[in-house]
């Protein structure tokens, strides 16, 4: 009995020692040669890979607008920053940051080089300051269409899939604005089709922040390269101003953001993950990301979702918090 017990304890000790060596990375797969235990241990154990997301993550340039406006980051360095600082593979430009470069072939070629050097996909260009695509004044609408054509050409040069435009209108009548939007977006869409570039509308104030209105416009246009860019925020449909400015004054009425996203998703060619404030657990305060990303997933969307942070935290922190939340929730529902 004593010999049996001694042998049992000896064998148990050897087994426990081998287990501890394996646990702390000193087993047969630790890079050393030879068999330290006298037997070839099972080397098939693997670490489970992170669950793949149903979407890809891009970074909207507006997330760094303070940094860029303060001249702490140049537009040409945006691709490297997205990849090297945040580990993000797609970028979404804002034309404000290279407003005079739409026809500058050398500059656009340098943007292409910077993106290629960093392994970054140039996804789209967000266009501001070129006129509202729902203006009911014929001359204004014609000018807006013409103004956007150079950006269609620039997007094609950069290998983007779309430009984002604004369906603004100073006309307070929804039906008249919708009719103008169908005309304006349709004509620009025809131009974009020739270059294989999409023309997409974001809920970005005014009538465009009404999901039903924008979906109705899309149904009337019915063109494969004209669509939407649903943004998790930007759902103010009425403000206390009288000049038609979609961003002027205090917001008096908001459209249901979850309903609005659901209404726009059938036409979506991109999605913007807007974020402002975060709680102590890293959740976005104003938007339930689990609920929102479920709406996006249920629509069958599998493209880029762009981080667009606009909160009070430092921009770098806000971008990282948004990315972490997207990855966490995306893994849960993928």
51 found inside a domain: no
- Tally of CA atoms within 13 A in the half-sphere of 36 that contains its CB: 15
Domain that holds residue 37: 1-46
200 found inside a domain: yes
Return all residues near 265 (Cβ < 8 A) that are at least 6 apart: 228, 230, 295, 296, 299, 301
Q: How many domains does the structure of the chain reveal? A: 2
115 found inside a domain: yes
User: 130 and 22 share a domain?
Assistant: no
SS3 for 284? strand
User: 37 and 61 share a domain?
Assistant: no
User: 153 and 71 share a domain?
Assistant: yes
Are 202 and 186 in contact by the 8 Å Cβ rule? The answer is: no
**Which residue has tokens 């509202």?**
132
Per-residue pLDDT tens for 6-36? 443 344 444 444 333 333 333 333 333 333 4
103 found inside a domain: yes
Question: What tokens appear for 324 in the block?
Answer: 């972490």
Are 102 and 150 in contact by the 8 Å Cβ rule? The answer is: yes
Q: Using CA atoms of 277, 229, 59, 332 in order, give the dihedral in degrees to the nearest 10.
A: 70
**In this predicted model, which residue has the larger pLDDT, 170 or 47?**
170
User: 82 and 2 share a domain?
Assistant: no
Per-residue pLDDT tens for 101-124? 999 999 999 999 999 999 999 999
Please tell me whether the overall predicted TM-score, pTM, comes out greater than 0.75 for this model. yes
| DSSP characters over 215-282 | HHHHHHH--TTEEEE-BSS--EEEES-SS--TTSS-EEEE--HHHHHHHHGGGBS-EEEEE--B-TTS
Are 165 and 199 in contact by the 8 Å Cβ rule? The answer is: yes
């Amino acid at each position: 009995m004593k010999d049996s017990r001694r042998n049992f304890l000896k064998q148990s000790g050897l087994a426990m020692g081998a287990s501890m060596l394996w646990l702390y990375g000193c087993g047969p797969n630790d890079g050393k040669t030879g068999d330290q235990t006298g037997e070839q241990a099972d080397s098939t154990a693997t670490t489970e890979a992170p669950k793949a997301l149903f979407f890809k993550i891009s970074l909207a340039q507006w997330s760094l607008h303070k940094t860029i406006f303060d001249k702490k980051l140049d537009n040409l360095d945006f691709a490297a920053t997205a990849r090297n600082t945040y580990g993000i593979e797609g970028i979404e430009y804002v034309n404000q940051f290279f407003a005079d470069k739409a026809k500058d072939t050398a500059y656009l070629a340098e943007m292409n080089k910077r993106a290629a050097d960093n392994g970054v996909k140039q996804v789209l260009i967000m266009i501001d300051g070129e006129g509202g695509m729902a203006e009911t004044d014929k001359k204004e609408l014609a000018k807006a269409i013409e103004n956007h054509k150079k950006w269609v050409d620039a997007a094609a040069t950069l290998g983007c899939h779309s430009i984002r435009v604004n369906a603004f209108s100073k006309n307070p009548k929804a039906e008249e604005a919708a009719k103008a939007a169908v005309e304006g977006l349709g004509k620009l869409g025809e131009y974009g089709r020739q270059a294989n570039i999409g023309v997409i509308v974001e809920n970005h104030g005014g009538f465009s922040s009404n999901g039903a209105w924008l979906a109705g416009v899309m149904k009337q246009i019915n063109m494969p390269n004209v669509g939407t860019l649903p943004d998790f925020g930007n759902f103010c449909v009425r403000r206390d101003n009288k000049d038609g400015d979609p961003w002027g004054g205090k917001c008096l009425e908001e459209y249901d953001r979850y309903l609005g996203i659901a209404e726009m998703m059938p036409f979506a060619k991109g999605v913007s993950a807007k974020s402002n404030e975060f709680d102590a657990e890293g959740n976005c305060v104003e938007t339930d990301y689990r609920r929102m990303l479920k709406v996006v997933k249920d629509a069958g969307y599998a493209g880029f979702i762009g981080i667009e942070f606009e909160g009070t935290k430092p921009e770098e922190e806000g971008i990282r918090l948004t990315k972490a939340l997207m990855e966490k929730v995306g893994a849960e529902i993928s």
